[in-house]
Structure 1
Amino acid sequence: MQLIKDMEFGGERPLFGSRDLHLDHVTVRAGESAIKECSNIIATNCRFEGNYPFWHVHGFVIDRCFFDVGGRSALWYSDHLKMTDTRIDAPKMFREMTDIEIENVEINDADEVFWRCNRLDIKNLKLHDGRYPFMFSRNIRIDGLESDSKYVFQYVKDVEIHHARITTKDAFWEVENVTVYDSELNGEYLGWHSRNLRLVNCHITGEQPLCYARDLVLENCTFGPECDRAFEYSSVRATINGPISGVKNPSSGCIVAESYGDIILDENIKAPADCELKLWDEQTCFSDCV
């Protein structure tokens, strides 16, 4: 493997088509597509300032690097990436990619990151600002996520998330086969139109959560006081370890809670309209609702 150390590149495609390179303390200045159509690339302690540096790259490592604001749309149409201990200040990263490993990464403009990606293994990721992270992606496993980006995890499939703190709006819309463990989910309109969404040991805040959901499961979750009109037109099986401020027209299933605030079951409820609302007592257990 060729080592390139302590150098600067700029302009159009300076390393186009390269193979078997180790870039160490390299700076990519203004320009486009610096490392396009390459394979077996290692970048350590590098700085990327130009647009689109890693397009159509197959097999690469990015470690302890920095993507400046100018390095937007830096990682597209590529596969087999391992990224560690890296900071990204540019938007629209990770598009149409497969086989991504990420650990200890901070993205400070998470606008449209991780779009249409497949097979992501993520540990300790921080997302700030931006909209629509993870849109249309699938086969995702995350352990450790902090996010204040808007509209996260829309149209995703086959996702498992552990130890997340997500503050957003309209999260987990139109998702399929998603499980979230031991997490805090803050924001309005959580999980609308989802299919097979499962929340385990989660704390949920925000207005009108979990409506229009199919085959929704909650295990040992808690709700904030602003969670009103929950479960409208949803098929749900839920055990809530505490009170619920309001429930509105769940279509089927069973809900167990410590207490209920407003319960709206009116003429607009959808068939089969047979959801049971129960209170915890000494005989009630999760299996009573699942």
Structure 2
Amino acid sequence: MHLIKNTEFGGERPLFASHDLQLDNVTIHAGESALKECSNIVAVNCRFEGKYPFWHVNGFTVKNCLFTEGARAALWYSQNLVMTDTRVEAPKMFREMEGIRLENVQLPDAQETLWHCRNVQLENVQVDHADYLFMHSENIRIDHYAQNGNYSFQYCKNVEIRHAVINSKDAFWNTENVTVYDSEINGEYLGWHSRNLRLVNCKISGTQPLCYAHNLVMENCTMDDDCNLAFEYTSVEATIQGFIHSVKNPRTGHITAESFGQVILDEHIKAPGDCKLTLWDTHTCFDD
């Protein structure tokens, strides 16, 4: 592997079509496509300031690096990335990629990041300003994760999340096969139009959660007082520890809680309209 160390590059495509290359303490200044069409690249202690440095790259490791705001859209159309101990200040990262592993990574401006990506692993990752994160991505595994940003995980498939705090309006819309364990999810309109969303040991807050969902499962979850008008037109199997503020027209299934506030079952309920609401202590239907 060829080593380039303690130097700087700028302009257009300075390392275009490089292969088997290690960069150590290298700065990529303003310009475009510094490492386009490359393979087997290792970047350690590097600083990226120019746009689109890693496009169409197959096999690369990024360790202890910085992507400044100017390095927007830095990693697109690439495969087999391992990124560790790195700070990414640029938005619109990771598009149309296959095989991404991020560990100990900070993304303080993660707007429109991780779109159309497959086979993604995140561990100890913090993302902020993360509106429209993870659009149309699939096969995602996340552990020890913190997120601030709305409209996340829309249209995603095959997702597993553990030990996370997710602050996101409209999270998990139109998703399929998503499981979240031991996490906190805060935001309005959670999980609308989802299929096979499973929440285990999770704390939920935000108005009108989990409506229009198909095959929703909740195990040993809690719902804050602002979780009103929940489960409208949803098929659900749920065990809730504590109080549910209000439930509106669940379509079918079974919800068990310690107590219910307002229960709305009106002429607009959709068939089969047979969801059972049961109290923990009595094991009898709430409407008995």
TM-score between both structures, scaled by the size of structure 2: 0.98
Instruction: Write the letter of the residue equivalent to 2:214.
Output: R
Following superposition, the deviation at residue 130 of structure 1 comes to 3.4
Amino acid aligned to 1:227: C
Aligned to 1:50: 50
Cα deviations by residue, 1:141-160 (Å, 9 ceiling, x for unpaired): 00011001111111000000
Structure 1 CA distance, aligned partners of 2:130 and 2:176? Answer: 23
Other-structure match for 1:278: 278
Amino acid at match of 2:248: K
Output the CA distance in 2 between the equivalents of 1:127 and 1:121. 14
- Alignment of 1:135 with 2:135, yes or no, is yes
Cα deviation digits, residues 126-184 of structure 1 (max 9, x gap): 11003110000000000011001111111000000000101110000000000000000
Q: Where does residue 151 of structure 2 map in the other structure?
A: 151
Distance in 1 of aligned mates of 2:172 and 2:130: 16
Check if 1:118 corresponds to 2:118: yes
Structure 2: which amino acid aligns with 1:267? E
Q: In the alignment, residue 85 of structure 1 is paired with which amino acid?
A: D
Please report how far the alpha carbon of residue 101 of structure 1 lies from its aligned counterpart in structure 2 after TM superposition.
0.9
Contact 2:130–2:147 (Cα < 8 Å) also in 1:
no
Aligned length: 284
Distance 2:5 2:62 in 1: 15
Secondary structure at the residue paired with 2:115?
A: coil
Extract unaligned runs of 5+ from structure 1.
285-290
Whole-angstrom CA distance in 2 between matches of 1:9 and 1:17: 15
Measure the CA separation in 1 of the matches of 2:100 and 2:128. 20
Instruction: Tell me the alpha carbon deviations over residues 8-59 of structure 1, each in whole angstroms, 9 at most, x when there is no partner.
Output: 0000000000001100000000000000000000000000000000000000
Q: Secondary structure at the match of 1:10?
A: strand
Q: Deviations over 1:235-265 (max 9, x none)?
A: 0000001100000000000000000011000
Aligned mates of 1:184, 1:131 — CA distance in 2: 18
**Alignment partners' CA distance in 2, 1:153 and 1:124:** 18
Is residue 233 of structure 1 aligned with residue 236 of structure 2? Answer: no
State the match for 1:287 in structure 2.
none
Shift of 1:283: 5.9
Instruction: State the alpha-carbon separation in 2 of the partners of residues 58 and 167 from structure 1.
Output: 33
Counterpart Cα distance in 2 of 1:254 and 1:206: 21
> What does residue 36 of structure 2 align with?
36
Instruction: Give the TM-score taking structure 1 as reference length.
Output: 0.97
The answer for the alignment partner of 2:6 in structure 1 is 6
Distance in 2 (CA, whole Å) between partners of 1:247 and 1:282 is 19
Residue 219 (structure 2) aligns with: 219
Paired letter, 2:156: V
1:288 aligned partner: none
For the residue of structure 2 that corresponds to 1:17, the secondary structure is coil
1:43-80 deviation digits (Å, cap 9, x = unpaired): 00000000000000000000000000000000000000
Structure 2, gaps ≥5 residues long: none
Give the AA of the match of 1:136. Answer: H
